Structures are given as C-alpha cells and as structure tokens.
Structure 1
Amino acid sequence: MCGRQALTLPHDAMSQMFGATLANDLPDVPNYNICPTNQVCAVTSDAGVRHVTSMRWGFIPHWYAKPNGGPLLINARSETIAEKPAFKAAVRQRRCLIPATGFYEWTKDETGNRLPWYIHPAAEEALAFAGVWQRWERDGEAHTTCAIVTTLANDRMAELHSRQPVTIAPADYGLWLGEEGHGAATLMTAAPPEQLEFFRVDPAVNSNRASGPELIEPYDAETKTA
C-alpha cells in the first residue's frame, strides 16, 4: 500500500516533467510527510492538455453523504479497481498521475516497534504514481479527491510490504492519462525491482505532525535513540 509520501520537486519542475500547466492553488513543496486527507499535486489531461492541480488524498465516492461518510479510500487495488463501485467509473474515465519523490512503509522489530523506511527512485528525480480521481459535491461542500493505485509488490519491495504503488514511466504518461486510447490496464503492474531503493529513517515520521528534510535521511539505529 502507500500511506505516506514525500514531494520535494518544485512546481516548475513538475510542469516541465509532465508538460503541464500549473494551477494557482497547489500545495506547498517541499513536503516530507504528506498524509491521507492532505492536498497533493495531481496531473490530469483534458483533450490532451495537461494540468497540475490540487486534490485531496482520499477518494470520496459520490454516494458519501459527507467526506468522512465511509472508509478512507487512499489506495485502490489494481486487481479489483475495474469492479469496485467506488472506482470502476474513475479508472475508465478519470485517471491521473500523482508525483512523489518517495514514500514510506513500515516493518516491525521483534518487540513490535514500528520501523519506518523511505522508498525512493534509484535513478529518476521523482516517481509518477498511477491515480484515479473523483469530484465530490454535497450541500455546498466540494472536494476533488484521488486515490493511488497499488499492486502486488515485486520481490524486493516485498521485504517491506506485500503491496506497492503502481508507478508510470514517462513513455506511458499519455496512455495512463487517456491521451492514447485504450490499454491503460496493462500498466497496472509492479515496477522492476531495480527502479526503487529504500533505507531506514527516523521513527519521528511515525507522527503525522513531523516535518523537515531529516525525515528522509538515513537513520542509524545504533547511534541514535529511537
């Protein structure tokens, strides 16, 4: 799954990376601890014109009476996304890319302590997560919301978690965004093991209130007190 992420890429760099125009209300970057329900940057395409916009991370199906009217849907499983009522229309009609420079997963030690790991691209400046989005409106309240598509982890990522975000290669941006016809379903697979690297980071990130670049720095448990 993906339950926390980081984005350090400047807005101008995102515009260049995706060939997209920038909205005026994008969330501030860098952000080293993006949590569910926070605003994230997302890339959409309208008739082939790409835009970087702001979306709430946490997909709200149209039938929710209020934003917290059901489970918080931050991830969508690739295996069932085309069947689930919450996502089946979105995966056909409303796909997006969610830029990130990394994300976090947790393991546990022998005493049950949660150990955070930072996963980042081995070579590229940033990742583009496959996402789906939904506009929700009710009683004068409106949110544009999104979820990250996940798939079974490759052998290396499985050391940390059984699932990982689907990442879209630059050559496939157009296909995922619906600019190149059908076939986006073929992209919902795990990235090759060599695409991602990971290392332990400070347990401070266990708090959703933590911030700062030190959150994505390697952590040596033997020389620091957790």
Structure 2
Amino acid sequence: MCGRFAITLPPDAMAQLFQAVPSNDLPEVPNYNVCPTTQIHAVMADDGRRLVSMRWGFLPHWYKAPNGGPLLINARAETIAEKPAFKAACRERRCLIPCTGFFEWTKDMDGNRLPWYIHAADNAPLVFAGVWQDWERDGQAFHSCAIVTCAANDTMSEIHHRMPVLLSPDIWGKWLGEDGPGAATLMTPAPNDALRYYRVDPEVNSNRAKGPDLIAPI
C-alpha cells in the first residue's frame, strides 16, 4: 500500500514536467509528510492536462459525507476494474500523482514501527497511477483520488508486499487516456532496479511531523 509520501517539487516545475496548466489552489510545497485526507497534487486530462488539487481519499458518489464509509486511499490493481467504488473511475477518470518519495514501515522484535523512505534510484520524481472522482454534498465539492497499488517487486518486497503503480514519462499519456486504450496493461510493478530505500527517523510516524529531516537517512 501507500499511506504517506513526500513532495518537494514547486508547482511551476510540476506544471512544466507534465506540460499541464496549473490551478490556482494547489497545496503548499515542500511537504515531507503528506497524509491521507489532505489535498495533494494531481494531473488530470480535461481538454488538455491540468495540474489540480485533489483530496487523497477517494469518495464514491454514494458517500453522504467525507467520512461516510471506509477511507479509500489505495485501489488494488488486481480488482480495480471490478470494485463498485473504482470501476467507472478506472475506465474514465485516471490521474497522475507526483511525489519525491514515499514511506513504508517494518517492525522490530519489540513491535516498534520502523519507517523507510523509498525514492527513485536516479532521484527523479516518482509518478503514481491514480484514479479520481468528483464528490459534492451540502455545499462541499472537490476532486478526490486514490493511488493504485500492485504486488511489490523483489526490491520492495523486502520491506512490504505492496507498492504503488509507478508510471514512466512514456506512458503518462496512455494512463490519462490520451493515447487510446490499454491502461490496464500498465498496472504492474516497477523494475527491480527502479527504487532505493533507507531508514528514517521514527518521528515521521506522527502525521503532525514536518520538515526535511523526515527524509534524512539514519
């Protein structure tokens, strides 16, 4: 799964990277501890690419409130096309979610949670496959999204059995639906040499922790 990540790219750099028009309500960066239910950056295809703000936590249209059901921050690639919450979004509403790196946890012999920071081997930005849904109730209206996950590759499986689906630049257009059908074939693990990881301070275990020290190796 993916339950926490970091983003340090400025909005103008993200807009240039994706050749997208930025919205004027984008979340502040850098953010070294992006948590579920907060607003994140995402790229959607809407008469061209747009860089927009989305709530991390997919809200199906039948939810009567943001907390009206389970918190859906991830969507499993193996079942996304079948699950009622995600199947329409998988066909029609896919997005790109940029990050600098993400976190996973293991446990020591005493059950303490040990955080790891995972980043691209070449230190380039990572791009998650995402799906999104518009949600509106009682005067609240926003985009919501989930990160698509798959079985871990050999590298990631040393610390977790799941990982986000990572998209390289050459397939961004296909995932967004710009290059015709075939997005289902993209929901596979990244190559084993694509990622590196290292231990970071347990301070990041708190969703209130902030600052660049959260991604510093220990």
Please report the TM-score for the alignment, with normalisation by the length of structure 2.
0.99
Mapped to 2, the partners of 1:190 and 1:17 lie a distance apart of 23
How far off is 1:189 after superposition? 0.3
Letter in 1 for 2:82: E
Q: Deviations over 1:140-183 (max 9, x none)?
A: 22121000000000011001110000011100010000001100
Uncovered stretches (5+) of structure 2, i.e. residues with no partner: none
* CA distance in structure 1 between the aligned counterparts of 2:14 and 2:174, rounded to whole angstroms: 18
Moved over 6 A (4+): none
Tell me how far apart the structure 1 counterparts of residues 6 and 37 of structure 2 sit (CA, whole Å). 14
User: Corresponding residue for 1:162?
Assistant: 161
Pairing 1:48-197 to 2, within 5 Å after superposition: 49-197=48-196
Q: Provide the rounded CA distance (Å) in 1 between the counterparts of 2:123 and 2:20.
A: 18
Letter of the 2:157 partner, please give it.
A
**Count of residues in correspondence between the two structures:** 218
Counterpart check, 1:216 vs 2:193: no
Letter in 1 for 2:26: L
Task: Using the TM superposition, give the Cα deviation of residue 124 of structure 1 relative to its aligned residue in structure 2, in angstroms.
Answer: 4.4
Aligned to 1:224: none
Secondary structure of 2:193's counterpart equals helix
Q: Which residue of 2 aligns with 1:11?
A: 11
Gaps of 5+ in 1: 220-226
Partner residue, 1:38: 38
Secondary structure of the corresponding residue to residue 193 of structure 1: coil
What is the CA RMSD across the aligned residues, in angstroms?
0.7
For residue 24 of structure 1, what is the amino acid of its counterpart? N
Deviation at 1:46, TM superposition (A): 1.6
Q: Deviations over 1:66-105 (max 9, x none)?
A: 1100000000000000000000000000000000000000
Amino acid at match of 1:93: E
Query: Displacement of 1:125 after TM fit?
Result: 2.0
Residue 128 of structure 1 aligns to a residue whose secondary structure is strand
The structural deviation recorded for 1:194 is: 0.7
1:3 CA drift (Å): 0.1
Distance 1:118 1:200 in 2: 6
Provide the rounded CA distance (Å) in 2 between the counterparts of 1:17 and 1:129.
14
Identity %: 68
TM-score by length of 1: 0.95
